[in-house]
Structure 1
Amino acid sequence: MPALALRLGTRINYESQGYTWGAGFTRGPLTLGYAFEQATNDLGDWHRFALELALGRAGY
């Protein structure tokens, strides 16, 4: 069964980082994820992508 997850967050007491948000989509053993992190310094914002493949059976 396909699943969609949405995420929101922030870091407290970190001057160089702001809010974060992301999403993930799972279908069978495959998960595709994306995350965005706002930076308040000169390094700029971060975009992260993830591709996960579950191998084997869960619970071991």
Structure 2
Amino acid sequence: MEHPAYRDNLEQILAFTGGRNLLNIKDVKAFTGIRDPLTVRKRYPMDASGHISAATLARQLCGGVRK
């Protein structure tokens, strides 16, 4: 089941990035207001190269995966 805020979060992320679906740490820092890149890595599931998809970030902003 999809979280009610997921689509709104995804829409905001895509508008912020100009439609890009793959975000780097700098993008996530700018979008969330988090200043420390290590905090971004701890809070969000980034891949080894420091990227996260817009969909995954939107899901995480809703509290993660719902079971």
- The TM tier, using the shorter chain, reads under 0.3
Relative to the length of structure 2, the TM-score reads 0.20
Relative to the length of structure 1, the TM-score reads 0.21
Greater helix percent: which structure? 2
Structure ranking higher on relative contact order (CA contacts 8 Å, 6+ apart): 2
Greater strand percent: which structure? 1
Indicate the structure (1 or 2) with the bigger Cα radius of gyration.
1
